[in-house]
Amino acid sequence: MWPFRKPPDLNAAVVRPSQPDDVPAVSHLFRSAGRRFLAVGVADLYAAIEHGRAAVLQLDQEVLAVAVLSRPIAQVAWLRGLALSERVQPREAIARLLPALDDVARGLTIQHVYYAGDDQSDQWLRPLLEHAGYAHQTDVVVYEKRGWNIPNYGNAHVQVRPAYAVDLAEVLQLDMRCFEPQWVKDEGILAPAIADGSFFVTAELDGQVVGYSYATSHFGGRLVHLVRIAVDPSQRGRGIGVRLLAEFVSYAAEIGAGLLTLNTQAYNYHAQRLYRWFGFTPTGERQPVLCRWL
């Protein structure tokens, strides 16, 4: 903290959209801030600042606070970063910063801004956002499974194969059809996931890509996390999701992963029935998701 410095007068501060010249100051703020939330990598953070997808609170030459948005998808974006200097009072700074972020969002034709943070490390932020007009929308719930039992292998006519870079456009279109805008994954997420090649597969039926799935490996392969199962809405009920989940469990067995995890929305009861059938059980962990309607 700054025990011998007078708190800055935020009424004299300027609140504005970010610009490319802000990158060094914002980078420094995220490194030094006592209160910070960051849910993207450094490259994505810098891109957001350079493209004006952030609001900056500045006094003289010092950046005191910043809030950052993801790239919008269908008029929806996520709050991906927020940092406050230790010199400012959090509620006062948020009261100046977030209306400017709303203006940035409206300028990008965004109608809904979502937030999901960790209830432990980011617990300081949730009450500030709720006070600023963000409302609880749902929770993301966590499931886990130990062991590799597979109750059913799904549709035997579905061909499952590794995804390649040439599949990216089709996978992106499929993802848009499968999920609400706030849950859609864009090229910045899916392209590196395909390139990684650990576990990213497509499901084909009658020569058409009708689903895909991918997972990440952690702790030297001792834990695998199912990031996504997507099945074309027009093809649901044909055992495709079962086939993809069976492939994931088989992959975990192949690499010797002792713990399998996944997340899903609390309201996605259909998916949760499938996961429970496969032996996944809820851990009790819940990640709150907030939404700001503009």
127 and 242 part of one domain? no
126 and 149 part of one domain? no
Q: What percentage of the chain exceeds 90 in pLDDT? A: 90
Average pLDDT, the chain: 94
Task: Name every residue whose Cβ is closer than 8 Å to that of residue 192 and which is 6 or more positions away in sequence.
Answer: none
Last residue of a domain, one of 133, 163, 191: 133
Give the length of the chain: 294
**Alpha carbon of 277 to those of 29, 173, 237, 246: distances in Å?**
47, 29, 15, 11
Would 193 be classed as within a structural domain? yes
Count of domains for the chain: 2
Would 292 be classed as within a structural domain? no
Which CATH number does the domain housing residue 231 bear? 3.40.630.30
46 and 114 part of one domain? yes
* Strand 223-231, strand 208-218: pairing: antiparallel
The whole-angstrom separation of Cα 33 and Cα 130 is 21
Q: Would you state the structure tokens that stand for residue 256, as one six-digit string? A: 């010797």
201 and 280 part of one domain? yes
149 and 96 part of one domain? no
282 and 146 part of one domain? yes
pLDDT band at 5 (very low <50, low <70, confident <90, very high): low
The average pLDDT across 24-51 equals 95
274 and 179 part of one domain? yes
pLDDT band at 2 (very low <50, low <70, confident <90, very high): very low
Report pLDDT digits (tens) over 252-291.
Answer: 999 999 999 999 999 999 999 999 999 999 999 999 999 9
280 and 171 part of one domain? yes
Is 195 in a helix, a strand, or coil? helix
pTM of the full predicted structure? 0.91
Task: Name every residue whose Cβ is closer than 8 Å to that of residue 125 and which is 6 or more positions away in sequence.
Answer: 35, 37, 82, 115, 117
Would 2 be classed as within a structural domain? no
Report pLDDT digits (tens) over 103-126.
Answer: 999 999 999 999 998 877 788 999
CA atoms within 13 A on the CB side of 36: 17
170 and 101 part of one domain? no
The whole-angstrom separation of Cα 216 and Cα 225 is 5
Full domain range(s) for residue 109: 10-133
The average pLDDT across 172-186 equals 96
The whole-angstrom separation of Cα 190 and Cα 208 is 19
Report pLDDT digits (tens) over 48-94.
Answer: 999 999 999 999 999 999 999 999 999 999 999 999 999 999 999 99
Last residue of a domain, one of 133, 152, 185: 133
